[in-house]
Each structure stands twice: as C-alpha cells, then as structure tokens.
Amino acid sequence: YLPYIFFSLPVTISSTAEKVVYLVVFHLSFVMFVWSYWKTIFTSPASPSNEFCLSKADKEQYEKEERPESQQEILRRAAKDLPIYTTTASRAIRYCDRCQLIKPDRCHHCSACDICVLKMDHHCPWVNNCVGFSNYKFFLLFLMYSLLYCLFVAATVLQYFIKFWTNELPDTHAKFHVLFLFFVAAMFFISILSLFSYHCWLVGKNRSTIETFRAPTFRNGPDKNGFSLGCSKNLREVFGDEKKYWLLPIFTSLGDGCNFPTRLVIMDPEQLTVSSQNEPAKSSGANQSFPTRPLSESQNRLLASDSQWVESGPEEENVKSGAKKHIIVSLES
C-alpha cells in the first residue's frame, strides 16, 4: 500500500530524493521481514539426537517394568553418560513416553508437533511452528523487523493521516488507504512491541517462556537463573559470536541444543565445589547421577577465559558467622 499511496496522493513529497529514500527503506525492511518470517516458519524444530534414545534392550526392559522405581533405575543407568543436569520436581529423569527418549536439558514435548523440541520456547500458531533452539533467533528477528516495518509505515503515513482529520487532504480514493494503513500499522506496532520486549527480557535472562512459568530443577532444587551466564553471554548464546551476522536470519546460535553451560547455586557452604572436567560424576537426591562432561567448542568460546567466577549470594547475610554462600559458574554442560 505504501508505494501506491505515495504516488496516488496529490500532495507531493518534498523531493524526489525523499521518495527514493522512502521506497528503499520500505522495501529493505519488507524483505528482511519476509525473510525472517519465512525462516521461522520453514525451519524444522530440532529434536534430540539418537544418543538420548534408549537401546532396544533398555526399552524392552522399561516397558516390562511396572514399578516407577525400577523404571527410573533403568533411565538413570542409560543416562549416566549423557550431559543431563535437570530433572523433574520429584528428582526423576525426564523421559518422554511418546518419543521414547530421555529429554535433554530444556527439551520439551510439543503436543501440536508431536515431537520433542530442543530448548523449546513455545508453539506459535502465527507461524504454525514450534519456536525453539533451531529457529529462536529467526523468531526474534521476525519480531524486530515486523516492529520496524510497522513503525516506518505508521511514521510515513502520519502526516497524511493528520491532514485527513483536518480536512486538508484532497478528496481522492487514497483517503481510505491512509486511514486503514495508519490504524493497522499502529495497532500491530503496539502489540508486537510488547511481545518483542518480553522476548528481549527472556534473552537477557537466558530463559525460555516455559522456564519462566516453571523453573528448571537442578541438583539443588529449582533455579530460574540456572542457565544465565550474564546478559552479554546470554545474548551471544542466541545470536553467536560474530556480530556481523546478528541482524541476518541465518543460524549462528552457539551449542548443539542438548548441552548448555549452567550456573549452579550451591546452598551449603560445606559442599562448596567447583566442578572440573576430570571430576567424577556427582549424585544428589534419590541417587540421581549428574555426570561431568567436557564443554563443546562453542561453549568454551561462550565462557571464554572467565569460565569460573564467584559472586556473593543474596543469602549471605543469613548465613552463620564464617560461612559464605556463593554462586558458581559450573563447567558442566
């Protein structure tokens, strides 16, 4: 509609150069918007690899067992070499009966897609696809370019919208287009702004929409900030290391979607431990095993040289004398 309005209105734009700028910016934002939208829709949700599937023998044994305790023992044995650090609230291994696999951290089953999706954020009906590890960056860019597109349309039509209400606009067929275009662009801008702001906050906290409503459970209990490594590192985890690709809808997210660096909150000062790659596997609660795994190449880049740091915890004032509580960045992933 915008090019049509520009050339159909009898009110001339100040200069030909301004017309060219309007059309270039309009089509550039439109192309980026469509490109991001396309990638969000047609990028298949990433699913767990075969290493998270039970072997044929374990699967047969799991299906024969009727007691949950015996089933959990089978799952713990199968998951001892997997990089899994989150459990259910009851300290049980997260297992998908539908897909018949052990769920990696931040993985959830989508009832609409009927698959387990890595780092699932939500199922979006507007794109008819799951938003997760494979297309979360595309979804954010889609929201951003939608926002800029609507803002540009509303801003460029505003002067004609004002003239419409003050009866300064000549009586032409473009009057309806001006009214319709301004209201639609403004309404979409307001609605998308709230959604985009919310997801920017999620990226800064390194949370998904699901984790906002239900915090992941680690060895020391639920921790909504368990995957947060600081705003800068959280941003790089989604958009990658190279800033020149951040605004392009191409996949640059760090990691493999199954393995994430974590920040563990150690509540007991006597158990203060910094895990290393050579440490044996630790267990906590109901004999739950938490094996130590080396970091992937992308996660080593993410944590960089300050992969370990200690900050004072918020509970420090409530600890008896001599004891300190710390927030530790774990090398586990």
Read off the pTM: 0.75
SS3 category, 268: coil
| Distance from C-alpha of 245 to C-alpha of 327, rounded to nearest angstrom | 32
pLDDT at 258: 93
pLDDT at 217: 92
| Residue bearing tokens 């004999």 | 287
What the block records as the tokens of 266 is: 């150690």
pLDDT at 174: 66
Contacts of 51 (CB under 8 A, 6+ apart): 82
CB 281 within 8 A of CB 126: no
SS3 content of the chain, % helix, strand, coil (to 5): 45, 10, 40
| Distance from C-alpha of 195 to C-alpha of 97, rounded to nearest angstrom | 33
pLDDT at 190: 94
SS3 category, 312: strand
pLDDT at 21: 87
pLDDT at 14: 55
pLDDT at 182: 87
Task: Name the helix (H) or strand (E) containing 64.
Answer: helix 56-64
Q: What residues pair up with 96 in beta bridges, in sequence order?
A: 101
SS3 category, 222: strand
42-48-51-53 Cα dihedral, nearest 10 degrees: -110
Digitized pLDDT (tens) for each residue of the chain, 333 residues in all: 444 444 444 444 557 888 888 889 999 999 999 999 999 999 999 999 999 999 999 999 999 988 999 999 999 999 988 989 899 988 899 999 999 999 999 999 999 999 999 999 999 998 999 999 999 999 999 999 999 999 998 988 888 778 777 777 666 666 777 788 888 999 999 999 999 999 999 999 999 999 999 999 998 889 999 999 999 999 999 999 999 999 999 999 999 999 999 886 433 333 334 333 333 333 333 333 333 333 344 444 454 434 333 333 343 334 333 333 333 333 333
Which residues are marked as active site?
A: 124
| Distance from C-alpha of 76 to C-alpha of 84, rounded to nearest angstrom | 10
153-158-159-165 Cα dihedral, nearest 10 degrees: 140
CB 255 within 8 A of CB 299: yes
